[in-house]
Structure 1
Amino acid sequence: MTGRPRTGVPLWVLKLTMSVTGIVWAGFALVHLIGNLKVYGGAQGFDSYAHWLRVVGYPPVPHEGVLWSLRVLLVVALVAHVAAALALAVRARRARGGVRARHTTGRSRAAGAMLPTGLLLLVFLGLHVLDLTLGVAPAASPQFTGAGSAGSPYANLVASFTRPVTATFYVLAMLALAAHLWHGTVLAANDLGVTGARARRVMVWIAGLLAVAVVLGNAGIPLAVQMGVLS
């Protein structure tokens, strides 16, 4: 052993990557939530919104150009976020010598929940794309009407959430997303230099409101389908 320090990506770069990419996905979660709420306006309004996403900016922008640009941005942010998270987890484990701390506080338990909720969200994201975007069985319902402009996003959503297992998993995923967003937003604010007591309280409130909005807004949709409110 030479005692030379380990080389690699600086810690601050990993934390900054986590913060910026986390903010990108938090912003997407909020915008996606607003779009999802259009489902309560009925099939015509929801399907029109889904169609608009494909033609926004057209003809100056190619058909689905904005949509694909956002998809690429989200995929890049996701890959960077996961890579930084794994790198930080490995460094934290090495710093502890591979030994898990016996005494934990509420904050450390919340931090410890970030990895399992993140893994659950990765599984959910993959299944969600197979279900409502691509219509790949068995993730998608047998009543899937078609991808893109060929089908009805509203009908696909309702058909998917009539399945109790899918509806339950979606609700659980939204609870995991709320927890991930709440703690992740607070961590991101700290890593980006929001250290004042008043500013930190504001960020905690913002994170909490975002988490509650995700649960009430998104998780309410499969419950509404199960109760027959949406059909």
Structure 2
Amino acid sequence: MTVNNVDRESIRHGKITEQPLRQRPAYPTWAIKLVMAITGLIFALFVLVHMVGNLKIFLPAHDGEPAIDVYGEFLRSAGEPLLPHEGLLWIARIVLLVAVIAHIHGAITLISRSKQSRGKFRRTNLMGGLDSTATRSMLITGVLLLAFIIFHILDLTLGVQPAASAAFQHGEVYSNMIATFSRWPVTIFYVIAMLCLFLHLFHGIRLAASDLGITGKKWLSLFTFLAAVIPAIVVIGNIVMPLSIALGLLS
């Protein structure tokens, strides 16, 4: 162990050491947790806005053009003429990509440090219920969500087969969604990913409160409320859409 008042005799016999137990990390743990909290909240805001946009698939067409296609063209042309076509969309994509990389790096670093600090000992039976399930599953749900994000981009953004359907056409949002979610395996995978998203957001938003230094009772209550409401709204909204297509309610 490391002590303040050094006993030279003990040091000579190898019982204690003046050296620290572990090297000081380049980035403090609190800074990594802060980055994960900020990037996590960015994801939460993104999936909420993305869900609202996807629900336009249920709106009536405008002059024969599906409402979600009109929305898709709006995203591609937003910022013109100040920005080039799809300029604002690519800025958002880059921000999300950087946030994903920072979030994954932070998660791996924190897990590694936790294992080093804990050693061979494990803490068990500290809590139960949904809190315990969400906490224990953060790594698993995170990996599944990363796999889903990659698949989702290949499917509905890039149109790369076999992730995408054979009927994929760039810019045709409505028809692409109908084609991809008419495949039951894709719909089931989507639903499973949304359930993982609920657990990940539920625990992540609550954890973000403490990582951001929020200790007030009212603010903590607000974050606890948002941690339950936002994931529930996002998951329900995102599950209704593919199931409606798979069941033939939308065509």
TM-score by length of 1: 0.93
What are the superposed Cα offsets for residues 140-192 of structure 1, whole Å, 9 maximum, x if unpaired? 11121x22x3xx11111111001111000000101111111111000001111
Which structure has more RCO (C-alpha within 8 Å, separation ≥ 6)? 1
Which of structures 1 and 2 has the bigger CA Rg?
2
Q: Distance in 1 between matches of 2:69 and 2:101?
A: 30
Q: Name the counterpart of 2:139.
A: 115
Q: Name the counterpart of 1:101.
A: 123
Answer yes or no: is 1:13 the counterpart of 2:31. Answer: yes
What are the superposed Cα offsets for residues 193-218 of structure 1, whole Å, 9 maximum, x if unpaired? 22222321211111111111111100
Q: From 108, 128, 143, give the equivalent of 1:86.
A: 108
Q: Name the counterpart of 1:214.
A: 234
Cα 1:10–1:108, aligned 2, differ >3 Å: closer, same or farther? farther
Q: From 70, 88, 91, give the equivalent of 1:66.
A: 88
Q: Distance in 2 between matches of 1:38 and 1:108?
A: 36
Q: Which runs of 4+ in 1 moved over 4 A?
A: none
Q: Distance in 2 between matches of 1:98 and 1:67?
A: 47
The amino acid across from 2:149 in the alignment is L
Q: Distance in 2 between matches of 1:125 and 1:39?
A: 20
Answer yes or no: is 1:132 the counterpart of 2:156. Answer: yes
Q: Secondary structure at the match of 1:28?
A: helix
The unaligned stretches of length 5 or more in structure 2 are 1-16
Q: Distance in 2 between matches of 1:165 and 1:104?
A: 37
Q: Name the counterpart of 1:225.
A: 245
The amino acid across from 2:184 in the alignment is P
The Cα RMSD (Å) is 1.5
Q: From 11, 19, 43, give the equivalent of 1:3.
A: 19
Q: From 47, 59, 72, give the equivalent of 1:41.
A: 59
Q: Distance in 1 between matches of 2:39 and 2:105?
A: 11
The amino acid across from 2:117 in the alignment is A
Deviation, 1:114, is: 1.0
Q: Percent identity?
A: 43
The unaligned stretches of length 5 or more in structure 1 are none
